[in-house]
């Protein structure tokens, strides 16, 4: 009895370490809940509890089922359990991959369930931090169609982002465009991650990639999410193209969000047009914020850049006005010490889908009423909802 308790404690500590290492300290672009990672973690706990004394035997049995004998089959329940039992070691990962390939190659007529495994497998890779195997599986011809769900793409790209694999994100995006899953090749969250990767790469080539993508979207009359536009504009600023940043921001409907107004003010300052930057700072003075609502802020570095631009261009006529505005912003708590990079990369905590939809869709669940094959050609109905806090950036 004592031996069983020790084994149980070791497994619990191992799972806790994985949670701390792979979730708490990550620099994700999307919060874990929006990717269904919290639900996956909960299911791991339940599954490990069910197999607490038999997990090793189960894995050994699965090893015998992945051989080439036609009588040996991998069933939905087998694969689902293994995905939630796998630990961060080569043996478990190899077993899961073999099971996935065997399951995918089995006669589809023998499958009567509607469990979609693509997102769950990528949540497992995400939880374990195994970006290399995730990318290999995504590109593997034997698994063609297995990961063709928008949320699977989002999971893979966010994992690549967290690992700093920005060029791989652009490569994955090119593959995604050719597949046109669920009726679109420009899914909004995929575009956000792609623009974020361009921003992080911060090269002339990544700026050109981002601008080409924006042109493609414009030809389709598609307005990207504010977050995507902010990344593209932020990249333009980093590449000394403030005029490009202004054009990108100009196509966004609401100019009063923190990223938009800071990018505009900074762009004008860098273009030696402080007379156009100053009204943006002054705009906060002219707004009566409701009690309890967060204050509209400017980044300290942006405010300083506007002041520097005034001095650089010898605009003495603007100095008194700037000093007055700067003092008001500081006294009233409208200046943030965060950098523009920090604000741009704040994790998205709400994806503008209703909670009910998240429960029923593949964004936070593993089931879908349609089969994997049909889901590739089904155009998802878009449901608009009030934006969450993180979407304001």
> Quick one: pLDDT at residue 8?
47
Phi, psi dihedrals of residue 355, rounded to the nearest 5°: -60, -35
Q: What are 295-344's pLDDT values in tens digits?
A: 789 999 999 999 999 999 999 999 999 999 999 999 999 999 999 999 99
**pLDDT of 28 higher than 50:** yes
Cα–Cα distance, 136 to 91 (Å, whole number): 16
Cα–Cα distance, 52 to 330 (Å, whole number): 57
Please report where in the chains the tokens 């796998």 appear, as a residue: 86
> Quick one: pLDDT at residue 346?
94
> Quick one: pLDDT at residue 182?
63
* Residue 49 pLDDT level (bands cut at 50, 70, 90): very high
Torsion (CA) 281, 285, 286, 291 in degrees, nearest 10: 120
More confident residue, 382 or 72: 72
pTM given for the model: 0.82
- Residue 336: which H helix or E strand, with range? strand 335-336
> Quick one: pLDDT at residue 7?
45
Cα–Cα distance, 371 to 113 (Å, whole number): 9
**pLDDT of 53 higher than 50:** yes
What is the end-to-end Cα distance of the chain in Å, rounded? 54
Q: Is 263 exposed, middle or buried (0-12, 13-18, 19+ CB in 10 A)?
A: buried
Long-range contacts of 256-261 (CB under 8 A, 24+ apart): 256/283, 256/296, 257/226, 257/392, 257/393, 258/296, 258/297, 258/343, 258/392, 258/393, 259/226, 259/227, 259/230, 259/233, 259/234, 259/340, 259/343, 259/344, 259/393, 260/226, 260/230, 261/296, 261/298
Cα–Cα distance, 146 to 115 (Å, whole number): 12
285 token code pair: 């003075």
* Residue 27 pLDDT level (bands cut at 50, 70, 90): confident
> Quick one: pLDDT at residue 356?
36
Longest dimension (CA), the chain: 86
367 token code pair: 């089931």
Where exactly are the structural domains of the chain? 1-149+362-379, 254-287+294-354
- Residue 151: which H helix or E strand, with range? helix 150-162
Per-residue pLDDT averaged across 63-85, rounded?
A: 90
Q: How far is CA 135 from CA 63, 93, 131, 158, in A?
A: 23, 13, 6, 12
> Quick one: pLDDT at residue 371?
38
Phi, psi dihedrals of residue 351, rounded to the nearest 5°: -100, 20
* Residue 215 pLDDT level (bands cut at 50, 70, 90): very high
Q: What are 151-185's pLDDT values in tens digits?
A: 999 999 999 999 999 999 999 999 999 887 766 77
């Amino acid at each position: 009895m004592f031996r069983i308790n020790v084994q149980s404690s070791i497994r619990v500590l191992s799972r806790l370490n994985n949670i701390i290492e792979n979730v708490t300290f990550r620099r994700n672009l999307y919060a874990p809940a929006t990717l269904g990672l919290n639900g996956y973690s909960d299911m791991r706990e339940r599954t490990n509890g069910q197999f607490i004394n038999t997990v090793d035997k189960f894995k050994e049995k699965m090893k015998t089922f992945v051989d080439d004998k036609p009588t040996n089959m991998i069933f939905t329940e087998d694969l689902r359990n293994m995905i939630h039992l796998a630990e961060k070691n080569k043996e478990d990962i190899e077993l899961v991959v073999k099971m996935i390939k065997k399951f995918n190659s089995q006669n589809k007529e023998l499958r009567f369930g509607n469990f979609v495994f693509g997102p769950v497998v990528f949540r497992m890779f995400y939880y374990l931090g195994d970006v290399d195997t995730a990318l290999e599986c995504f590109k593997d011809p034997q698994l063609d169609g297995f990961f063709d769900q928008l949320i699977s793409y989002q999971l893979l790209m966010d994992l690549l982002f967290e690992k700093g694999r920005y060029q791989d994100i652009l490569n994955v995006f090119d593959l995604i465009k050719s597949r046109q899953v669920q009726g679109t090749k420009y899914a909004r969250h995929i575009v956000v991650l792609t623009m974020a990767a361009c921003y992080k790469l911060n090269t002339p080539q990544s700026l050109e990639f981002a601008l080409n993508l924006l042109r493609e979207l414009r030809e389709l009359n598609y307005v990207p999410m504010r977050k995507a536009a902010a990344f593209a504009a932020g990249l333009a600023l980093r590449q000394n193209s403030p005029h490009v940043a202004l054009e990108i921001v100009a196509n966004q409907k609401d100019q009063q969000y923190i990223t938009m107004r800071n990018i505009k003010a900074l762009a004008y300052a860098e273009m030696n047009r402080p007379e156009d930057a100053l009204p943006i700072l002054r705009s906060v003075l002219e707004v009566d914020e409701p009690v309890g609502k967060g204050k509209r802020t400017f980044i300290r570095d942006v405010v300083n850049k506007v002041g520097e631009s005034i001095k650089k261009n010898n605009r003495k006529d603007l100095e008194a006005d700037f000093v007055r505005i700067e003092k008001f912003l500081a006294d009233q708590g409208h200046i943030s010490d965060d950098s523009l990079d920090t604000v741009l990369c704040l994790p998205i905590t709400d994806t503008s889908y209703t909670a009910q939809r998240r429960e029923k869709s593949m964004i936070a669940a593993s089931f879908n009423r349609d089969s994997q094959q049909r889901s590739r050609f089904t155009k998802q109905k878009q449901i608009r909802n009030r934006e969450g806090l993180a979407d304001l950036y």
